[in-house]
C-alpha cells in the first residue's frame, strides 16, 4: 500500500540466548470517509509478534491500534533517553482478555530488557509464550529508527500525525 513500508514491516527485533522476538506491522488498510473519496483519510494497521525459541516458532496477532504503538514508541524514546530502570515503555492490547504485553526497560549497566507475553487465541487465551530477553542497547536504536520511519511515512500518507 505505502511504497516505503513493505509488509510485514519490522518495528522491533531482538534476540538473545536462543530467543528471537519480532514485533511487526503486518498490514496497512486504507480507510475512506466517503464512498466517492479518492484518497484515504486514515489507515488501519494490523500488528503481530513472531517468537522463536526453545524449539518453538510461532506468529501471534496483536489486538492493538497504531495509536497504542505510537504511544509505545514515544515511551520507548523517553526510556532510551533516560536510561533509568524506573522508566519503562509498555505496549499492551486493548480490551480484555489480557493477550499481549511488551515491556522494554534498561538496567543500571545500560543493558536492555525486553519482556512480555503473547497468549494464543486457539487456547482461549489460557496459554501462550512468555519471554525475557537481555541485550545491549543496539537493537533499541534500530527499533527506534524503524518506528520513526513507520510513523513519519504513515503521517505523510494520512496528511496528519494522529493515530487511532
Write the pLDDT tens digit of every residue in 109-147.
Answer: 879 999 999 887 777 777 788 999 999 999 999 999 999
Q: How many residues are recorded in the chain? A: 164
| CATH class for the domain made up of 9-158 | mainly beta
d(C-alpha 140, C-alpha 121), whole Å: 29
Quickly count: other Cβ atoms within 10 Å of residue 33's Cβ. 10
d(C-alpha 6, C-alpha 26), whole Å: 9
For 138-162, the DSSP string reads HHHHHHHHHHHHHHHHHHHHHTS--
Reduced 3-state DSSP string for 10-75: EEEEEEECCEEEEEEEEEEEEECCCCCCCCCCEEEEEEEEEEEECCEEEEEEECCCHHHHHHHHHH
Residue 12: pLDDT over 90: yes
Domains of the chain: which residue ranges?
9-158
Q: Provide the pLDDT confidence category of residue 1 given band limits of 50, 70 and 90.
A: low
State the pTM of this model.
0.90
Round the average pLDDT of the chain to a whole number and report it: 89
Amino acid at each position: 500500500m505505502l511504497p516505503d513500508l513493505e509488509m510485514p514491516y519490522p518495528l522491533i527485533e531482538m534476540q538473545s540466548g536462543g530467543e528471537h522476538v519480532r514485533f511487526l506491522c503486518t498490514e496497512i488498510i486504507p480507510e475512506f470517509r466517503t464512498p466517492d473519496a479518492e484518497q484515504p483519510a486514515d489507515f488501519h494497521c494490523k500488528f503481530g509478534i513472531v517468537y522463536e525459541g526453545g524449539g518453538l516458532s510461532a506468529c501471534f496477532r496483536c489486538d492493538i491500534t497504531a495509536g497504542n504503538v505510537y504511544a509505545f514508541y514515544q515511551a520507548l524514546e523517553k526510556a532510551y533517553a533516560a536510561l533509568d530502570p524506573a522508566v519503562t515503555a509498555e505496549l499492551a492490547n486493548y480490551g480484555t482478555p489480557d493477550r499481549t504485553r511488551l515491556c522494554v526497560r534498561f538496567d543500571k549497566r545500560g543493558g536492555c530488557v525486553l519482556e512480555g507475553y503473547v497468549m494464543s487465541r486457539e487456547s482461549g487465551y489460557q496459554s501462550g509464550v512468555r519471554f525475557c530477553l537481555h541485550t545491549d542497547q543496539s537493537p533499541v536504536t534500530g527499533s527506534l529508527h524503524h518506528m520513526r520511519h513507520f510513523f513519519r511515512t504513515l503521517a505523510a500518507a494520512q496528511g496528519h500525525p494522529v493515530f487511532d
